[in-house]
Amino acid sequence: MNEGKFNIAILIDGDNAQAKLIKDIIAEVSKYGKATVRRIYGDWTNQHMNSWKEIVNQYSINPIQKFSYTSGKNSTDSSLIIDAMDILHGKSVDGFCIVSSDSDYTGLAKRIREEGLFVMGIGRSTTPIAFVNSCEIFTFTENLVSDNEDDDNDISGLFGKEKENTADKSDREIRKNMVVQKEKDASLPKKFPKIDITLIDKAFDIATNDEDETTYIAKVGLSLRKMDPSFDARTYGFKNLTQLFESLKKYEVIKNEVNGLNHPMVKLK
């Protein structure tokens, strides 16, 4: 993809996304194109949207106000879908990124793909599989949080300023215990799921020609995404697909430098 010409619309479900990850979300989208349209939908009179208010201008995101028509319901999903269809028919972008873990956007993702446009999703690992598989690429937010671990260790916002200034000994002990517990959790090795080697093998077979048993890792990655839009080396504790292949005994990674750039290849041992 030519990032200079491939324009993507980022549409964020403010009721269903984390404000602290916006920098990482935009960075993830930038791997596939340029985020020319950036909109976030929600009821801005609701307190749960406060975390977004300080960063919408910083990241040039257009906030869209949508009031709840009835108690316990919101119109965010319908508003986002209507806007997406308007953008789709306006033909001003080449793809979409839907930031949500809500299955209500499954139909929208399918409709965008039917038009031949690129569609990716970003949401939690609990996102319904129907929505995940309706996207060409789906990135779990759990794979974006590594750079935000320091933010998670900041507990200053857990207590209001007024209470913090008058905190008694018991409150200070609570804070201390929380910090100690976080340090203990951070010291424990993170558990990653087991790699589905069958899926890896199938992707490798698709990416290789009958005459040549060596192929580009990037090509294998495309095959993996076609079979599983949520496949991500970071899910298994690796920075990229090259590192994942280096950990597999049956495969050998081959360095392949072209004009000073490395385009790694892989083959069976």
What would the pLDDT profile of 91-118 be if each residue is shown by its tens digit?
Answer: 999 999 999 999 999 999 999 999 999 9
**Domain stops at, among 133, 161, 187:** 187
For the whole prediction, is pTM greater than 0.85?
Answer: no
Output the 3-class SS for the chain: CCCCCCEEEEEEECCCCCHHHHHHHHHHHCCCCEEEEEEEEECCCCHHHHHHHCCCCCCCCEEEECCCCCCCCCCHHHHHHHHHHHHHHHCCCCEEEEECCCHHHHHHHHHHHHCCCEEEEEECCCCCHHHHHHCCEEEEHHHCHHHHHHHHCCCHHHCCHHHHHCCCHHHHHHHHHHHHHHHHHHHCCCCCCCCCHHHHHHHHHHHCCCCCCEEEHHHHHHHHHHHCCCCCHHHHCCCCHHHHHHCCCCEEEECCEECCEECCEEEEC
For residue 149, pLDDT over 50 is answered with no
Q: Which range marks the domain in which residue 85 is found?
A: 7-145
Condensed to tens digits (0 to 9), the pLDDT of residues 15-71 reads 889 999 999 999 999 999 999 999 999 988 888 889 998 899 999 999 999 876 655
In this predicted structure, what is the pLDDT of residue 2?
Answer: 46
Residue 242 belongs to domain with CATH number = 3.30.420.610
In this predicted structure, what is the pLDDT of residue 222?
Answer: 95
140 and 12 together in one domain:
yes
29 and 118 together in one domain:
yes
Condensed to tens digits (0 to 9), the pLDDT of residues 118-145 reads 999 999 999 999 999 999 999 999 999 7
Condensed to tens digits (0 to 9), the pLDDT of residues 178-201 reads 444 444 444 445 678 999 999 999
Number of domains in the chain: 3
Residue 127 belongs to domain with CATH number = 3.40.50.1010
240 and 133 together in one domain:
no
